[in-house]
Amino acid sequence: MLQGVCALGLAAGSLFAIGACGRKPKAVEPDEPDAPAGPAEGSLEWAVEGPWRSGPDRERDVWRHPMETLRFFDLQPKMTVVDFWPGAGWYSEILAPYLARGGGTYYAAGFPTGPGADPAQAALMAAYEQRFTSDKKLYGEVKFSAFGATTGPVAPAGSADLALFMRGVHAWMAAGIVEKAFRDAFAALRPGGVLGVEQHRLAPEADQDPAAANGYVQEAFVRQLAQEAGFVFEASSEINANETDTKDHPFGVDTLAPQRLTAPRGQAPDPAFDRSKYDAIGESDRMTLKFRKPE
């Protein structure tokens, strides 16, 4: 009888009959979950997470907050950006690929080179230029200029959308060129362009050393310098604040990471120096300020 039902069911195309004939439906394997999609190539997330960045550089993201900082400065992919004294290239590793993919332009306004240049700075710039010209597919056509006491424009006048002072104000104070830095940035920016400043922050009640020998600068002083150069203050952020930074370290801000000095700069490291409380602080407390060139 069952065989008759099966035959009738199959003839009629009955789903019930297929099951009743003892033919078990084929198990359907669940789809494998898709691997998490990475950030889109060319996005700021992609540049920050880029595998070309060294491990030690990426480990500092927890202190330097590059994504949040650059977004606060209104960075966009088609911008022309001037980075004053990019050093060894911590931010360059993010900015150059990002702007190259987006159709923007990246100016590295580094240390002056040539006759009379500081040998250590000249060596750093040579290594920097070699690094950022070695892979044009990744970094694009980085444009090199210079900033110093006697240098000319860091970029064509009125051509830049964003100028960056990333922890350099104290060094320019020590060199007596801080006012020039703000003037040169103002000249390079288009009307409406942004100046972004990240700087080790001195307590407001502390006395400001004109040479900022300890690396810390009062926020009010930075605002004054920007205003005197013609900028309008737009906003501040606590992205890079660190309330555990006591700012009274024996070798100034360079006692903290990433420099981690154990003796005055230029002297041999002191293996007996106890770094524990300074390593517990992490990196410095820093102001993050945005200024704009008037339209």
Q: How far apart are the first and last CA of the chain?
A: 92
pTM of the model: 0.87
107-151 pLDDT, tens digit per residue, is 999 999 989 999 999 999 999 999 999 999 999 999 999 999 999
202-216 pLDDT, tens digit per residue, is 999 999 999 999 999
What pLDDT band is residue 16 in, cutting at 50, 70 and 90? very low
178-190 pLDDT, tens digit per residue, is 999 999 999 999 9
From the list 218, 219, 222, the residue with the least C-alpha distance to 206 is 218
Distance CA 116, CA 129 (A): 19
From the list 134, 150, 124, 161, the residue with the least C-alpha distance to 142 is 134
227-282 pLDDT, tens digit per residue, is 999 999 999 999 999 999 999 999 999 999 999 999 999 999 999 999 999 999 99
123-133 pLDDT, tens digit per residue, is 999 999 999 99
151-177 pLDDT, tens digit per residue, is 999 999 999 999 999 999 999 999 999
Residue type, 280: A
Q: Which residue has the higher pLDDT, 42 or 13?
A: 42
Q: What is the CATH number of domain 40-292?
A: 3.40.50.150
- Quickly list DSSP for 87-99: TTTTTHHHHHHHH
Length of the chain: 295
- The residue extents of the domains of the chain are 40-292
What pLDDT band is residue 34 in, cutting at 50, 70 and 90? low
Whether the per-residue pLDDT at 103 is higher than 80: the answer is yes
Contacts (Cβ under 8 Å, ≥6 apart) of 140: 96, 97, 99, 100, 101, 106
* pLDDT at site 31: 55
3-state secondary structure of 80: strand
